[in-house]
Chain A
């Protein structure tokens, strides 16, 4: 089946620094990638949608200058959390449509970000 590889799985960074999260589609081309954020005991909240070769679309209330998304190739999308603050600590998950209705969407394993 289609696999999305997400790295790193865990990261701790200092306030004010930037962190990059990568999602790679391993055996299919992901023209679209969805980025979610999940706080403890809460559901997944969509942050933005990235499309290969074009600007990402951000959901209402998500700062595009803080959460930089790059989707430069059909197999790689990155999310960079800039000038991180403790309130950015969360679980970040990417997801891509496989193009196969049987599977729908496949998700990365998630990145646990802790800002100290």
Chain B
């Protein structure tokens, strides 16, 4: 799986949009970008994933650059409960054979009042 780089930490005011960047310059054509988050002392939670088009769900939006070398996770209205470590992961699409997820260091997002 391609390697990703993310800022170590970010702060965001409650109610504002949180924009979390991720670089994945070695991503290959069949690899998706996945985002997970881990709230303190819990297991990671799936947020969103995408291949090349921008995606949106009830939790977040994912913006992928045209060359697919980077992406941004957007939490439109951050709340205190969004304080967590956010992991950007690239991996092959599920093809019936499970491939392992490799976690980088992630971005520690602190949402403040």
Contact = CB atoms under 8 A, between A and B. Distances in A.
Interface in B58-80: none
A104 B104 CA distance: 17
Contacts of A90: none
B10 interface: no
A60 to B, nearest CB: 13
Contacts of A67: none
B102 interface: yes
A104 to B, nearest CB: 6
Contacts of A46: 100-102
Interface in A18-50: 31-32, 34, 36, 43-46, 49
A106 interface: yes
A43 B41 contact: no
**Is the contact region of chain B dominated by helix, strand, or loop, or is it mixed?**
loop
Interface residues of A, number: 27
Contact of B44 (A6, A31, A44, A112): A44
B42 interface: yes
A112 B46 contact: no
22 contacts: A31-B98, A32-B98, A34-B98, A34-B101, A36-B103, A43-B87, A43-B104, A43-B106, A44-B44, A44-B103, A45-B103, A46-B101, A49-B98, A95-B43, A95-B44, A95-B101, A97-B94, A100-B94, A101-B49, A106-B46, A107-B45, A110-B43
A34 B100 contact: yes
A49 B101 CA distance: 11
A93 interface: yes
Contacts of A109: 42-43
B43 A108 contact: yes
Interface string B96-110: 001011111110000
A93 B44 contact: yes
A97 B43 contact: no
A109 B65 CA distance: 33
B103 A43 contact: yes
A91 interface: yes
